[in-house]
Amino acid sequence: MKTLKNFDIICFDCDSTLSRIEGIDECANAVGLGEEMAKLTNAAMNGEMALEAVYQKRLDLIRPNKAAITAVADLYISEMVDGVKEVFEALQTHQKQIHIISGGLRQAILPLAKVLKIPEENVHAVDVFFDTDGEYHNYNQDSPLARTGGKADICQKISLDTQKMILIGDGKTDLEAQQVGVKVIGFGGVARRELVEKQADFYISDHSLKSVLDYIL
């Protein structure tokens, strides 16, 4: 097996990579819009539509409140992909810098990050805002992660010229990191996408995330 070694920074997508769910689709399910939103999510992750073309549309329709975000946060943890804890423990033992880079909602991802012992400043996702009653108000429309090319921008921001970075994810937005010299391992253990399988530097179809350790440690 050809291996990838000596990476200083290891980054992970969240939805369909660290957890078996797509957070925004779960919010949609709660308001009866699951099928419609799942189609939009798949279109973006398969590269059929630009992320910015679907991001605001989804949130304007779903309008997730604080209770919905809490429910999704619980699901992220309960639906964690097999092997995630072992992978993070191994990387932390080797003193690797770990980041989560996701187009999901940050408040829903933070509890999972806490379980995995990832500091909040290493969680890059889209903030959502609520009114005083806890109802949906807006999201951070300036976040690069709500548009095409955002993951490449985040990778470039957190990496130094002397550091090597790799990103593990399942979707087209993860492939964008290649634009700034980041290696990408496609993870097909939850959602297998032909575009990612063809274009990722390496591709894993195992249901357990532990397979990535064969490549990077």
pLDDT band at 12 (very low <50, low <70, confident <90, very high): very high
Tens digits of residue pLDDT in 144-202: 999 999 999 999 999 876 678 999 999 999 999 999 999 999 999 999 999 999 999 99
Q: Report which of 209, 161, 207 is spatially closest to residue 185, judged by C-alpha positions.
A: 209
pLDDT-derived band of residue 1, with 50, 70 and 90 as boundaries? very low
Mean pLDDT, the chain, whole residue set: 92
Crossing angle of helices 34-45 and 51-62, rounded to 10°? 160
- Residue 3: the pLDDT is 53
Q: Among 83-87, 115-119, 158-162, 176-180, where is mean pLDDT lowest?
A: 158-162
CATH 3.40.50.1000 fits 9-216, yes or no: yes
Tell me: pLDDT of 2 over 60: no
What whole-number distance in Å separates Cα of residue 49 and Cα of residue 12?
22
Q: Which of 25, 39, 177 lies closest to 104 in space, CA to CA?
A: 25
Alpha carbon of residue 215 to chain centroid? 20
Secondary structure letter of residue 201 according to DSSP: S
Question: What does the pLDDT average to over 58-62?
Answer: 91
The reported pLDDT for the residue numbered 50 is 78
pLDDT at 4 over 70: no
Pairwise pLDDT comparison (170 vs 215), residue with the higher score: 170
Rounded-to-integer distance, Cα 98 and Cα 147, Å: 23
What pLDDT was estimated at residue 107? 98
Residues forming the active site? 13, 15
When comparing pLDDT for 81 and 5, which is higher? 81
Mean pLDDT of 107-126: 98
Mean pLDDT within 9-30: 95
Q: Which pLDDT score, from 0 to 100, does residue 5 have? A: 64
